[in-house]
Amino acid sequence: MARQLSKLNARLVQTLKKPGRYSDGGGLFLVVSKTSAKRWVFMSWAGKRQIEHGLGGLSSVSLAMARERAAECRRHVAEGRNPIEARRAKADIPTFGELAETIIGSLESGWRNEKHRAQWRSTLRIYATPLAEKRVDAITTEDVLRVLKPIWTAKAETAGRVRGRIEKILDAAKAKGHRTGENPARWRGHLDYLLPKRQKLQRGHHAAMPWQDVPVFIARLRDSPSISCLALEFVILTASRTGEVMRSVRDGVVMGARWDEIDSDARIWTVPAVRMKMAREHRVPLTNRILAILDEAEKVRSGPFIFPNARGNQPLSEMALEMLMRRLNAKPATVHGFRSAFRDWAGEATNFPRELAEQALAHQVGDPVEQAYRRGDALERRRALMDAWSAFCEPRNSANVVPMSRRSHVKE
């Protein structure tokens, strides 16, 4: 039989010794065993049958915590749910951090870009830390705003990605039955009323060198020959993405531009689909200067990769080119920005059609219907464009090739 006290208090629950069940009211009881062990229970009724629901021992559950759990049990009973089953279901709900790791793990096999995989984890770890320990069913709009507001204007592009990734994790939580209702990270019809519109913010772009300055920069590359200088000039003249030329890792396989992709007789470099952003094979016409770069690189050939690192068994990393840009005081221009320089040159200084320049950059051209009927890649027309770009980039009054010694490669 329960011993009715006016109300339990923190001191009393510590001093009670006599075995029995002590009521705190509202169905909450402190049970003292014959060995003086103490635990909390919530009592409910199912018809004429009384049911006991354990809430934890006094050593780990304080009086205040027990009252909160009892209040939660009363809500479940009022809504016709079994408190124990409801608590078990709640215990199975993951935190945002736990679910994020699960979702990233299931999605990353379909991500071709190693950098993209790393960014997913790093952006959530750096910017979404306040959500990490929260259960996904408890995350509110205010929680999301607390993450986004500090970076929404200062780091607009990053903030947009963080928001999208939070939205995706919470969508997955709903799909798994861990939460109900609207997604608090949704933009349209929700956060767009609470945060400045993206078009009013400064969007992040890769800083580009003015196209008029590229020939002078290439002259500087040739003044300090090394494998990284050759690689950077190759990237510029082919208008490639660095990931198509330099080191990348996909599904545990190290990739980079390889000698077996070069057809010197046909003057074509064929980049396999696995290294292309659009996952389609891309053919690049090779100019005289690019072939000369390959001839120089072949003098220190030590494996399958065209631009190897110092050990010769791996391709150069993208960071090698970024460090080269810094050494040549070319910052804030970026390596990727040379693609923009190429596009600006083609649009402002030539009469080549727009779609030809877009194809040279391996961009999709036209709507889905036009793409469906487009079978060729305009290789020979692009060859004329790339010859013109190579001629423009040629430094004035400079030798075509600066020989590269094996020693300079070793120092790289």
Do both 296 and 165 map to the same domain?
no
Do both 401 and 307 map to the same domain?
yes
Q: For residue 398, what pLDDT band results from cuts at 50, 70 and 90?
A: very low
Confirm whether 251 is domain-assigned.
yes
Mean local confidence (pLDDT), 166-176: 92
Last residue of a domain, one of 91, 111, 133: 91
Confirm whether 343 is domain-assigned.
yes
Do both 100 and 83 map to the same domain?
no
Distance, C-alpha 386 to centroid of its chain: 33
Q: Residue 223 phi/psi, 5° resolution?
A: -75, -20
> In what order do the strands lie in the sheet containing 49-57?
2-4, 20-25, 28-32, 38-46, 49-57
Encoded amino acid at 309, one letter: N
Distance, C-alpha 375 to centroid of its chain: 33
Last residue of a domain, one of 176, 200, 224: 200
* The pLDDT of residue 337 is above 90: yes
Q: Report pLDDT digits (tens) over 23-42.
A: 888 889 999 988 888 898 98
Read off the CATH number of the domain in which 249 is found. Answer: 1.10.443.10
Confirm whether 389 is domain-assigned.
yes
Q: Hey, what are 315's tokens?
A: 């391709």
Q: Report pLDDT digits (tens) over 356-366.
A: 999 999 987 76
Higher-pLDDT residue of 7, 325: 325
Pairing label, strands 253-255, 20-25: unpaired
- How many Cβ atoms from other residues are within 10 Å of residue 366's Cβ? 12
* The pLDDT of residue 125 is above 60: yes
Read off the CATH number of the domain in which 183 is found. Answer: 1.10.150.130
Do both 23 and 100 map to the same domain?
no
Among 51-60, 267-276, 285-294, name the one with the lowest average pLDDT: 51-60
Q: For residue 384, what pLDDT band results from cuts at 50, 70 and 90?
A: very high
Q: Hey, what are 268's tokens?
A: 């074509």
Mean pLDDT of the chain: 85
Q: Report pLDDT digits (tens) over 75-120.
A: 888 877 777 666 666 667 889 999 999 988 888 777 766 667 778 8
Could you identify the residue written with the tokens 């062990």? 37
Quick one: pLDDT at residue 251? 62
Confirm whether 179 is domain-assigned.
yes
Q: Residue 394 phi/psi, 5° resolution?
A: -65, 120
Are 284 and 264 in contact by the 8 Å Cβ rule? The answer is no
Write out the DSSP string of 256-299.
--BGGGEETTTTEEEE-GGGSTTSS-EEEEPPHHHHHHHHHHHT
Query: What pTM was computed for the model?
Result: 0.56
Do both 246 and 141 map to the same domain?
no
Do both 183 and 125 map to the same domain?
yes
Q: For residue 181, what pLDDT band results from cuts at 50, 70 and 90?
A: confident
Are 232 and 242 in contact by the 8 Å Cβ rule? The answer is no
How many helices (H) and strands (E) the chain has is answered by: 18, 10
Do both 234 and 344 map to the same domain?
yes
Confirm whether 206 is domain-assigned.
no
Quick one: pLDDT at residue 294? 97
Confirm whether 205 is domain-assigned.
no
Q: For residue 373, what pLDDT band results from cuts at 50, 70 and 90?
A: very low
Mean local confidence (pLDDT), 6-12: 73
Q: Hey, what are 177's tokens?
A: 């039955």
Are 398 and 219 in contact by the 8 Å Cβ rule? The answer is yes
Q: Hey, what are 239's tokens?
A: 């208008």
Do both 268 and 369 map to the same domain?
yes
Quick one: pLDDT at residue 403? 45
Confirm whether 339 is domain-assigned.
yes
Quick one: pLDDT at residue 377? 85
Do both 251 and 342 map to the same domain?
yes
Confirm whether 333 is domain-assigned.
yes
Last residue of a domain, one of 66, 91, 116: 91
Kindly give the residue spans of alpha helices, DSSP state H, lying in 133-287: 141-148, 156-175, 214-223, 227-238, 242-245
Q: Residue 249 phi/psi, 5° resolution?
A: -125, 125
Are 83 and 44 in contact by the 8 Å Cβ rule? The answer is yes
Do both 57 and 175 map to the same domain?
no
Read off the CATH number of the domain in which 37 is found. Answer: 3.30.160.390
Are 70 and 154 in contact by the 8 Å Cβ rule? The answer is no
Percent of the chain with pLDDT over 90: 46
Please give the residue range of the domain that contains residue 106: 96-200
Q: Please give the radius of gyration of the chain, using alpha carbons only, rounded to the nearest integer.
A: 32
Do both 288 and 321 map to the same domain?
yes
Do both 128 and 12 map to the same domain?
no
Domains contained in the chain, number: 3
Q: Rounded to an integer, what distance in angstroms lies between the CA atom of residue 310 and that of residue 303? A: 12
